[in-house]
Amino acid sequence: MFENIEWWVLVTLCVAAFGAGLIDAMVGGGGLIQIPALFGLLPSHGHATLLGTNKISSVVGTSFAAYRYAKAIQVPWNAVLPATLMALLGAYLGAYIVTQVSTEVLRLLLPVLLLGVAIYTFVRKDLGSVHAPKLGRSRERVFGGLVGLAIGLYDGFFGPGTGSFLMVAFVVLFGFDFLAATAGAKVVNIACNLASLAWFAPAGHVIVALGLLMAAFNLAGAKVGSGLAIRKGAGFVRKVLLAVVGLLILRTGYDSYGPYLGAWFG
């Protein structure tokens, strides 16, 4: 059923899925935990299969988090719906493009982009503390579609930090507070995950039983994480965002520049 996966590996993957759901429900970045766990513990499986299995788990937790936010706060649907629709297209195209070209340039740029996000969020102490939309309804829809297309392409093509980029885009470009931005990011993330699954699943790049088992734990983590974010407010979410982006910088920086530094000093 689990393709001869040892029990301790299953337990570790379930713990990782819970942690991923917890973090992802608050600020995104759950892939920082779940994807390295899958790749590290199941090295004999293909990359596409592990990414597809990750998407099964992620889409369940993200869907629950989106539902929880929608019940508790007002989701800015005028911007979020166009972003969601265009993210479906963008993520599917991105998943196709990644099979055609190298991701090396984007891999090297990613830590720099994340560092910019961290510095901007840290310097702007009031960022996302007040919900003050600054675009008219028509411009919100247009900008929402553009943001969804761009970040959907990125998610399908590469992926790390998608939820964090979405949150910051909704806060900076649209004037949403962190809670509204998180709620919107969850909805758009669902579209990205579904579009990626539409590419991976028909090709058989999923371990269904493992994905569903991890999904149960990811959902449990999402329940705890969304509850914490809603209860503690935008200031708490900002602090968690800074912590997660910092970890993403370290992780992606090591992955991107580690081999070059090793070759240089070796």
pLDDT of residue 216: 96
Cβ atoms of residues 256 and 109 within 8 Å? no
pLDDT digits 0-9 by tens, 39-70:
888 888 877 788 888 889 989 999 999 999 99
The domain limits of the chain are 7-265
Report the candidate in 77, 17, 25 with the shortest Cα–Cα distance to residue 229: 25
Cβ atoms of residues 90 and 155 within 8 Å? yes
pLDDT of residue 220: 95
pLDDT level of residue 141 (50, 70, 90 thresholds): very high
Helix (H, G, I), strand (E, B) or coil at 2: coil
Under DSSP, the state recorded for 159 is: -
The answer to whether the pTM exceeds 0.85 is no
φ, ψ of residue 253 to 5 degrees: the values are -65, -45
pLDDT level of residue 16 (50, 70, 90 thresholds): very high
Cβ atoms of residues 127 and 76 within 8 Å? no
Q: What is the mean pLDDT of residues 123-137?
A: 80
Cβ atoms of residues 226 and 69 within 8 Å? yes
Length in residues, the chain: 266
pLDDT of residue 1: 61
